[in-house]
Structure 1
Amino acid sequence: MSAFEDMPTLVIPKKRCREEIPQLMDKKDRLDSESHKARKKIKAQGSFNAQFWTAAAEVEAIILSKTRVVSEISLAQFEGEPSAWERTEEARRLFEQMRAQQRRLKSYQKQATTLAKPKRSLRECFMNLFTSSRIRLGITTGVGERDHSVQSNFRQQLLIDYESERDDGLIWCPVSHGWIYSDHMTASHIFPYKHGQATMDAIFGRVRPAELFSSRNGLMLNSIIEKHFDSGVMVIVPNLPERPTDTMLSKWVGQEVREYKLRIIDNTWQHLDRVINKDGLTWRKLDNRVLQFRGNYRPAARYLYFHYCVQVLRRAWKLGPGQKTVFHLTDEFGKPFWGTPGRYIAKNMLRALIEELGHEYDNLLEGATLLSRGDDDLLLNTAVAQIAPIEEADDEDTDEEDFDDYD
């Protein structure tokens, strides 16, 4: 079975005539109103019990219906064949949204069934993932707003550990290989802050001191690059020679100072040839680019592997119903982009991710721990929680920047 066939089924939008658009807009507005009323019912529950998650599933079902209507409107407004529309950025975001919403709906239904059984309780990490406003339940019992002082300390520690700041205040970007004004550099979490420490511990195992705000879980990135770091376009992988031997692989794994490079996994992204700095660097030119660090400090491989897995899923979920070709995660020699073994993420969680993607991605198990632990679906649910609703997503057309931020 192909990975495409293993992914959640998409309802293929019908090609409507333009005269039907007002009717579709009315339907979208009605669904908006229904979801608003349903969310009020959720807040009135007052307890995260089976009834709460049943109501949450009802809200998500309405939201999914609305996204399907939005896709019909988008297709009706498109001048061209449906197969061409499926390859537009708007369609790809809608496909990703619908698959994420289907996954959330399934998770809520499963949680409701679980809590309906006697003596079952809700895990803290599930609460953090699925009660934030980002997925539109409107509940604020997750990790909450980020403390600005904590984020400021995180940024300052990154600058120190990675030796990234020059005396004149310019900051080094290891991806674009340039000194950049501080205002245009972002202290980026690899494993997102919003998932919380409990989720991090459940996925990777408990490490103390905690690493949610550790430099091992962060990078200083050019803000233009950071904006698309979690969009299913790019991954950071081990920098290995062509056709590496087992000895070379073992050497990389055993190194204290490991080297990495960036790979583009979406060769159909419409912005690949867009210039992102004054030197003419494009997104396409970032492919296979070795990260250059100023010192010997490096991010933890386990968090980069988490990012790798999530981006693989996001890329796969953008495939339309008419796109049968599965993208590849191998180089020109057939070597997986992440070509080294490791003990990064619980085996059962990676298996659940592969079941979602398809068994053509079995090589993701190279990063599995020897033992299973926790909820099988936690990694998958964490990936789903990173996908923002369409109306909350940043406008990708705002990348046309003034590149005077470089030295």
Structure 2
Amino acid sequence: MDLPPIYIPKKRRAEEISKLEIQRDELEDNLKRTRKKLRAHGSFNAEFWSAAADVESTILKKTRIVSEISLSEFPGDASEWERTEEARRLFEQIRAQKHRVASFQSQSAKLSLSKPRRSLRESFMKLFTTSPVGLGIKTGAGARDGHIQSNFRSGLIRDYQSMHSDGMHAWCPILGDYYPSRAMTAAHIFSYKHGQSTMDSIFGKMRPPQLFSSKNGLLIHSEIEQVLDAGVLVIVPDLPEKPTSAMLCSWTDSEVREFRVRIIDSQWDRLDEGIFGISGLKWRDLDNRKVQFRGTFRPAARFLYFHYCLQVLRRAWRAGPGQKAVFSLTDELGKPFWGTPGRYIAGNMLKAFCEELGHDCDGLMIGASRRRGRRSALLDAATAQIAEKANKMDQNEGEDGDDDEQEEEEEEEEWGRDEIEFIE
């Protein structure tokens, strides 16, 4: 099967582009007004989420117009445009926004019929209102406490033995070398803004909580961090070409697990570019490269598996209407990118995730646990994270100086910035 149908933009004549630009600007002005009204709303009830769905629908209309402008200004034909990075970003953005519209409508319908538990209502609200590229409503999540983030970074440096003896450089396990510590990012694998309640929903409750644990983070070069959430690179178990059952069990049971980097998007247009001035090293060279940790501490496989699922979805959603959307979970030799079984994520959540991909991806069920949770939790969290990244260009053009944007500029980059939970 292919992915669900996507909006197919039309190539317009030159004289029509100016009309599209006027429509785009009118929608942007309308969005500014309606977002302000939502911010002033006194209650996050069914009426609020119905209005939020209308706002997100307007964002979706704007993105579709932007895609038509982009195609119309492109010198080649539609099939060539679909392979450009801008087009792929727009396809991904449209799919994420369509899911958000459906999510808001569903939340409104459920709230009109029943009163959800407070924790579920609160975490849903925090996810979809705190994003500066979403509804942009401050609900108390705010920026990370500087002390907490500082402790998180210090914990990563300590646990992964990252700091050089000179105190000025830190080790990047992806690149396998030391870099000035100011260039290194303390990156969450499962975004802190998804919140502890969402982490518990997807993975099950853990004691102590692991949202700010070193198990949920890596200290990596900032350039690497940006690409790790672009649907290009994943971190997967380091296994032989043809592992036996004993080898798989050995990796699963090991306290010190090894990982490697894999490239899952062979169409990415930067694969043959050099990596920020590192002599001779291109992005393509990271494929199959072992992650080189300094000590015995490792990130939790369940969080890396979440990241893997998210990048698979990003990769699939970037496919254009004229492209074959089927995405293989194996490399060119037929070896699975993630080859070890594990009880990482509730099985019904992974099943719903696979259904959204719209093609045979049963291979993802290798990470299913027997636990059950809210069926759409994994997909909702992934969509929120994707929507954030996909809208970054709009944000940069964007809104005139909201407090949310100012807070974001003060924060370190991380793998996603929103949080989510829906009512049952």
For Structure 1 versus Structure 2, the TM-score category normalised by the shorter chain is: over 0.9
Q: What TM-score, normalized to structure 1?
A: 0.93
Residue 163 of structure 2 is matched in structure 1 by: 165
* CA deviation vs aligned residue, 1:213-269 (integer Å, no higher than 9, x gap): 110001111111111111111100000001111111111101000000000111111
Output the CA distance in 2 between the equivalents of 1:250 and 1:256.
Answer: 12
State the secondary structure of the residue aligned to 2:336.
coil
* CA deviation vs aligned residue, 1:64-108 (integer Å, no higher than 9, x gap): 000000000000110001000001000000000000000000000
Matched, 1:391 2:393: yes
State the secondary structure of the residue aligned to 2:137.
coil
Are the equivalent residues in 2 in contact too, given 1:93–1:390 (CA < 8 A)? no
Identity among equivalent positions (%) equals: 57
Are the equivalent residues in 2 in contact too, given 1:157–1:215 (CA < 8 A)? yes
State the secondary structure of the residue aligned to 1:290.
coil
Residue 420 of structure 2 is matched in structure 1 by: none
Residue 334 of structure 1 is matched in structure 2 by: 334
Residue identity matched to 1:345 = I
Unaligned runs of 5+ in 1: 396-407
Output the CA distance in 1 between the equivalents of 2:71 and 2:13.
Answer: 9
Query: 1:332 Cα shift?
Result: 3.4
Are the equivalent residues in 1 in contact too, given 2:133–2:392 (CA < 8 A)? no
Residue 300 of structure 2 is matched in structure 1 by: 300
Unaligned runs of 5+ in 2: 398-424
Q: Relative to structure 2, which stretch is displaced further, 140-149 or 44-53?
A: 140-149
Matched, 1:247 2:246: yes
Q: What TM-score, normalized to structure 2?
A: 0.89
* CA deviation vs aligned residue, 1:1-21 (integer Å, no higher than 9, x gap): x2x33x3x2110011012211
Residue 186 of structure 1 is matched in structure 2 by: 185
Distance 1:285 1:385, change over 3 A: same
Residue 404 of structure 1 is matched in structure 2 by: none
Query: 1:393 Cα shift?
Result: 6.5
Residue 401 of structure 1 is matched in structure 2 by: none
Residue 410 of structure 2 is matched in structure 1 by: none
Residue 361 of structure 2 is matched in structure 1 by: 361
Matched, 1:347 2:343: no
Residue identity matched to 2:370 = L
State the secondary structure of the residue aligned to 2:63.
helix
> Which one of 33, 37, 48 corresponds to residue 37 of structure 1?
33
Residue identity matched to 2:393 = E
Q: What is the aligned residue count?
A: 390
Residue identity matched to 1:102 = K
Distance 1:335 1:31, change over 3 A: same
Residue 261 of structure 1 is matched in structure 2 by: 260
Residue 400 of structure 1 is matched in structure 2 by: none
Matched, 1:94 2:90: yes
Query: 1:142 Cα shift?
Result: 5.5
Residue 419 of structure 2 is matched in structure 1 by: none
CA-atom RMSD, angstroms?
A: 1.5
Query: 1:390 Cα shift?
Result: 4.4
Output the CA distance in 1 between the equivalents of 2:331 and 2:136.
Answer: 43
* CA deviation vs aligned residue, 1:13-55 (integer Å, no higher than 9, x gap): 0110122111111000111122222223322321111000000
Residue identity matched to 2:150 = S
Residue 79 of structure 2 is matched in structure 1 by: 83
Query: 1:128 Cα shift?
Result: 2.5
Query: 1:133 Cα shift?
Result: 2.7
Residue 207 of structure 2 is matched in structure 1 by: 208
Q: Which has the higher contact order (CA 8 A, sep 6+)?
A: 2
Distance 1:227 1:248, change over 3 A: same
Are the equivalent residues in 1 in contact too, given 2:128–2:134 (CA < 8 A)? no
Matched, 1:61 2:60: no
Q: How does 1:98-137 map to 2 (within 5 A)?
A: 98-121=94-117, 122-137=120-135
